[in-house]
Each structure stands twice: as structure tokens, then as C-alpha cells.
Amino acid sequence: MHNLNMRTRANVNLDNDAYSMATAFAAARGIALGAAISELIRRTEQASELPLSASPKLKRDQHGMLVVKAAGPGLTSEMVREESEDDLD
């Protein structure tokens, strides 16, 4: 009988960038590394089922995750500096 609550233990080799992303994700969520990797794999699988044409505001990042596209020109540090200097006058 298979218990769905059982966890499988495995040793895997991750590329440095994948390991860094997974550990940062785990730390941000306050979960174990294995749980973070499992969640990221599930999210990627679910995201691959969504057609990008379903929403023109979505794109995939370098990790295959869906993210919201930028809606307009971005702010530069120079623009922020100019605005903060105006407030001092």
C-alpha cells in the first residue's frame, strides 16, 4: 500500500544558480529546502499548462515561472534622485 504522505529521500546535484534560487525561496517561505524544491517543481508543472496567450500581461522568466510583464518605462536611479532632490528644495 502506498502512503501519499510518505516522502522520498534522494540525493541530487543542482547547478549553483538553481541551488541559490531554491535556498533563497526556502528561506523566504520559511520552509525546508526539500519542500521548496518540491513546490517549485509543482509550480513549474502547473505554469507549463497555462498558455501564455491566455494573458498578454504574463511572460516566463529564466526559470520558467510566470511573471507579470513590465507595463511601461522603468524608473532609473537618476529619475528617483531628481525627484528626491526636488523634495528638499
Domain that holds residue 44: 16-88
Residue 9 domain-assigned?
no
Number of structural domains found in the chain: 1
Quick: pLDDT tens for 55-84: 667 777 777 777 777 767 777 788 888 877
Q: How close are the terminal C-alpha atoms of the chain, in Å?
A: 74
> Is 24 part of a structural domain of the chain?
yes
Distance CA 21, CA 6 (A): 25
Q: What is the DSSP string of 14-37?
A: --HHHHHHHHHHHHHHT--HHHHH
- Any domain includes 31: yes
Residue 54 lies in a domain: yes
Distance CA(87)–CA(80), nearest Å, equals 11
What pLDDT score does 1 carry?
Answer: 45
Q: How far apart are CA 22 and CA 32, in angstroms?
A: 10
Does 65 reside within a domain? Answer: yes
Question: For 3-59, how does the pLDDT look when each residue is reduced to its tens digit (9 = 90+)?
Answer: 556 678 888 898 888 899 999 999 999 999 999 999 988 887 776 665 555 566 777
The verdict on residue 69 lying in a domain is yes
Residue 47 lies in a domain: yes
* Confidence (pLDDT) at 27: 92
